[in-house]
Amino acid sequence: MDFQIILDGQYKNGKKVGKWNFFRKNYNDIEKIGGGQYDEGGDEIKINQWVELNEELKDDSRVTYKGEYHNGKKIGNWDVLYYGKKIGGGVYDKRGNGCKIGNWIELIEGSNDIPKVTFSGEYQNGIKVGRWDIFNFNNRMQIIV
């Protein structure tokens, strides 16, 4: 790995508060790749717009997720980005219960070398329903029902 991920923000009583930024440092170059806002109450509740790193690949800043939080829950449109280009995403329920709804394009979980495989299908109340298609890096499709 030729780069470092740097998190920049403030703590209050050991909890993240206020604005946080994520940077990628590659030798002498530093690039902002994400970040967002925590509430000031010290409960580490995410609010407003965020650009997040992939949780499974914290050391790899190529894939980010962009969307909005309300009281710590994802709401509305969320995009999956690869080097800033949209490669997937979908919509979370606006009631703030964290449920995915409608059509989504997602990265395969646990993938070590991304974004080689994506899933495309529909959610109803946070549950995958119906046909889901799998696309590999060469846009070849496999149907999963």
35-44, 109-118, 121-130: least confident range: 109-118
Residue 28 has pLDDT above 90, yes or no: no
In the predicted model, what is the mean pLDDT of residues 107-123? 74
- Give me the pLDDT at residue 73, please: 95
Range of the domain at 128: 4-144
Contacts of 144 (CB under 8 A, 6+ apart): 131, 132, 133, 134
For the cut 80, the answer to whether the pLDDT of residue 90 exceeds it is: yes
The candidate with the shortest Cα–Cα distance to 104, out of 140, 70, 67, 71, is 67
Partners of 19 in beta bridges: 37
pLDDT (mean) for 119-145 = 80
Residues 6+ apart with CB under 8 A from 30: 6, 23, 24
Domain count for the chain: 1
Neighbours of 45 (CB within 10 A): 18
pTM comes to 0.85
C-alpha span between 81 and 51 (Å, rounded): 9
